[in-house]
Structure 1
Amino acid sequence: MKTRLMVLGFLLYKSMSGYEMQQHLQQSQTDTWAGVLPGSIYHALKKMEKEQLVAIESIEQTGNRSKAIYQITEKGKQEFQQLLISGLTESSASLPTTFYTALSFIPYAPNDIILEALNKQETLLQQEYEQMKIGKKIKEEAIEVPEHTLLLFENMFLHYEIQLSFVKKLKESLTTKNK
């Protein structure tokens, strides 16, 4: 559903190739938070073309290669509306269930192993957080970012800050417990 929504949304903005969509996802770091793998774009386009949600507008030649430029169809616009409403009504709270499940059992593992894992978790969260900041900056340099998108970034940043704070408190708790 996410990939379909993303592809149709891109095509509402303007006609483009699968490659352009991939580049946009990667350059703006959208693939990170949206959960849309850039490689899934071509598969989705082919499938949606068969379903008549998108159509090839033109074929561009670049040297020995050709690329299809896709456009959204009326049927695709209807599908987009349905996916949009569905996406907006799903729960937006996504809990890291594997992480929380593992935390339930930390008394059964040596503290040094737990602290090492939490250090890795903290590093991973910090790296992802920094990548989100870079994605925002890239987006701001490329276009005038709409207010709702800035709010989206602010919300994602808060999520990272909360998780980082939680992991730090866990580490402090485990460290204090050993003293």
Structure 2
Amino acid sequence: MNVRTLCLSILYEGESTGYEIRRQCVDGECSYFIEASFGSIYPALAKLEDDGLVTSRTEVQSGKPAKKIYSITDAGREAFAQELSMPLGEDMFRSPFLLFARFAHILPREVVEARANEFLQQRIDKLRHIEEATSKPICNASDTWVINYGRAMMELAERHMRSHMHELITLARADSDRDAAE
């Protein structure tokens, strides 16, 4: 999957501006799919428009700059379905927390404990967000499936942290150990 496909997926559901597409990629339902920056979204939208897969119109706003609103075309819907039919690449998982955890042994115990608790709280907050999403009307069974998958992943991460956080904290160096070595 790429940013072009992500843009088509959002436009498949309805009209959107580049800013709204970015917001969906950062905070919205598409934040779990792939990363997309403004620097990649706008060129993708321009190329999609050049290829006739989306159209745009400019909407004048009172006291604000005009905004460009994109819509998917029938050809765009077909191209999106074709893209989804292609073999999928490997899921990519990146976690700054896992880099932190890998080097927990060089950090003070208080820092590791604080970051581990923050990570646990983020998982709890994400689960709460997922639960809030399920309380809203869901468009279709596919949405429900995706939400349930996300819930399962967050629940697993939360359980693992609750069960094994003490092991990570134990790996950290105690400040007194460092002081004794000096």
Q: Is TM-score (shorter-chain normalized) higher than 0.5? A: yes
Aligned to 1:32: 31
Please give the TM-score of this superposition, normalised by the length of structure 2.
Answer: 0.65
Aligned to 1:171: 165
CA distance in 2, matches of 1:176, 1:97: 20
Please give the TM-score of this superposition, normalised by the length of structure 1.
Answer: 0.66
Question: How high is the sequence identity, in percent, across the aligned residues?
Answer: 20
Post-superposition Cα deviations, 1:6-48, rounded to whole Å, max 9, x if no partner, equal 211222223333244345556x632532334463433321232
RMSD: 3.8
Aligned to 1:127: 122
1:157 aligned to which of 151, 155, 163: 151
What are structure 1's unaligned runs of at least 5 residues?
none
1:117 aligned to which of 112, 115, 122: 112
CA distance in 2, matches of 1:149, 1:59: 31
CA distance in 2, matches of 1:24, 1:175: 35
Aligned to 1:68: 68
**How many residues are matched?**
170
CA distance in 2, matches of 1:94, 1:140: 27
How far residue 84 of structure 1 moved from its aligned partner, in angstroms, is 1.5
CA distance in 1, matches of 2:127, 2:34: 13
Aligned to 1:46: 46
| 67 and 163 in structure 1: CA distance in 2 versus 1, 3 angstrom threshold | same
What are structure 2's unaligned runs of at least 5 residues?
173-182
CA distance in 2, matches of 1:35, 1:60: 29
| 174 and 65 in structure 1: CA distance in 2 versus 1, 3 angstrom threshold | closer
